[in-house]
Amino acid sequence: MLSNTDIAELLAQQAETETGIRVRAFRRAARSAFLWPEEVSDLLAQNRSLTELRSIGPFIEKQIRQWIAEPRRSKTPPEIRRDFLSLAEARRLLATRPDWPRKLRGDLQMHTRWSDGSGTLAEMADAAATRSYEYIAITDHSKGLKIAGGIDEVELERQAAEIAKVNAALSKSTPHVTVLRSIEMNLNPRGEGDMSPESMQSLDLVLGSFHSALRKTEDQTDRYLAAVRNPHVQILGHPRGRIYNFRLGLTADWPRVFAEAARLDKALEIDCYPDRQDLNIALLKIARDHGTRISLGTDAHHGWQLEFIDLGLAAALRAKIPADRIINFMPVLELKAWANCVRDRTMRKE
Ligand SMILES: [Zn+2]
């Protein structure tokens, strides 16, 4: 029986043979397949229509039914589409280990209207409360990423006031949730950030990410070593910079990068956004062997997208990351203490 990931690959391959508007329709359906909450095979077994699923109209439904009726082996996906989990698969995996998702206390990457997100800060906090989280980190883009509406030091201060207000309201309605002050600081290819060190010092956590020169094919180890050694960064966001069916991401001497992160006690992220899933499982296994800390962030741009966390939880479980290496499993005070400790340690070395 074809799984949703098999169907995604067939849809992506079909897109390559189509012309006109169908190219986009099949490409969109391929991406959406990773978000379908149930396996297509289960829907069919229950005589349900596939048009319940995101991006599936009658035409694509007919095509999928045809593939299932005459099963042929889907080709191995090319690297640009390989090693992505579907939400249906992730949930099946997590259901086998209910103790694992229960350890999760929060989400450490999301965007709001302060940069390119579509939800307000209060809406993201509500979504976190609904999921019974203990904390979320607000990581809007920093000023260097103009295309995503990055914010400068002054706006970051103004955001602090709004976070304080939201936290005050939460302490009355849902006292279990805290909104942490963070940022997704843009790193240049030399691993340097674009914000003043003083303003980074005022945050609970700093996530640093590369958003430029992501199509280089030469080894990028030096760039990664510089980023993990950046004294103002505690978490390296979406490390490879890969995007499903769009960009392969960078390469590096990963064992060296993970070993250096472990030495400095820094975390590398699993960006759980379905198109990213970065780190992926193959790299997570290397991280596990080096004892590197892992951070889970959905990169949500809207409240409902907090559900993407299941993709990261499942990837970490499949890669057998020990629970004590996942920073989102720490209570909020311990998480803050870790960030401060990492900060002090790398500052002293500067
Ligand atoms: Zn980013």
Ligand 1 centroid to Cα of residue 44, in Å, is 37
Give the pLDDT confidence of 274-309 residue by residue, as tens digits. Answer: 999 999 999 999 999 999 999 999 999 999 999 999
Higher pLDDT, 204 or 71: 204
C-alpha of residue 20 to centroid of ligand 1, in Å: 31
Predicted local confidence at residue 348, as pLDDT: 73
235 in the Ramachandran plot: left (φ > 0), alpha (ψ -120 to 50) or beta?
Answer: beta
Tokens of residue 311, six digits: 């993709």
* DSSP bridge partners of 278: 271
Distance from residue 137's CA to the centre of ligand 1 (Å): 14
pTM value is: 0.96
Centroid of chain to Cα 305: 10
Residues with CB under 5 A from ligand 1 (ion): 209
Residue 107 CA, ligand 1 centroid: distance in Å: 15
Instruction: For residue 279, report the distance from its CA to the centre of ligand 1, in Å.
Output: 13
The answer to whether 85 and 271 are in contact (CB under 8 A) is no
* Ligand 1 center–CA 335 separation, angstroms: 22
Closest CA to 214 of 261, 248, 191: 248
CA 237 – ligand 1 centroid, Å: 7
Query: Which pLDDT does position 84 carry in this prediction?
Result: 97
pLDDT at residue 349, as a whole number: 64
Distance of CA 99 to the CA centre of its chain: 21
Q: How far apart are CA 32 and CA 4, in angstroms?
A: 10
- Strand-pairing partners, residue 241, are none
Instruction: Please give the pLDDT value at position 1.
Output: 84
Q: How far apart are alpha carbons 65 and 48 in whole angstroms?
A: 12
| Percentage above 90 pLDDT, the chain | 93
199 CA distance to ligand 1 centroid (A)?
19
Region of 63 on the Ramachandran plot (φ > 0 left; ψ -120 to 50 alpha; else beta): alpha
| Ligand 1 centroid to residue 79 C-alpha, Å | 21
pLDDT band at 184 (very low <50, low <70, confident <90, very high): very high
> Alpha-carbon Rg of the chain, whole angstroms?
20
Q: What is the 278 CA–ligand 1 centroid distance (Å)?
A: 11
104 pLDDT tier (thresholds 50, 70, 90): very high
58 burial type by CB count under 10 A (0-12 exposed, 13-18 middle, 19+ buried): exposed
Average pLDDT over residues 310-326: 98
Q: How far away, in angstroms, is 210 Cα from ligand 1 center?
A: 7
Residue type, 43: L
Does 94 score more than 80 pLDDT?
yes
Q: Where residue 48 falls among pLDDT bands split at 50, 70, 90? A: very high
Q: What's the mean pLDDT in 194-206?
A: 96
d(CA 56, CA 74): 20
Tell me whether the omega of the peptide bond preceding residue 279 falls within 30 degrees of 0, making it cis: yes
Ligand 1 center to 11 CA (angstroms): 27
Whether residue 76 is predicted with pLDDT greater than 90 in this model: the reply is no
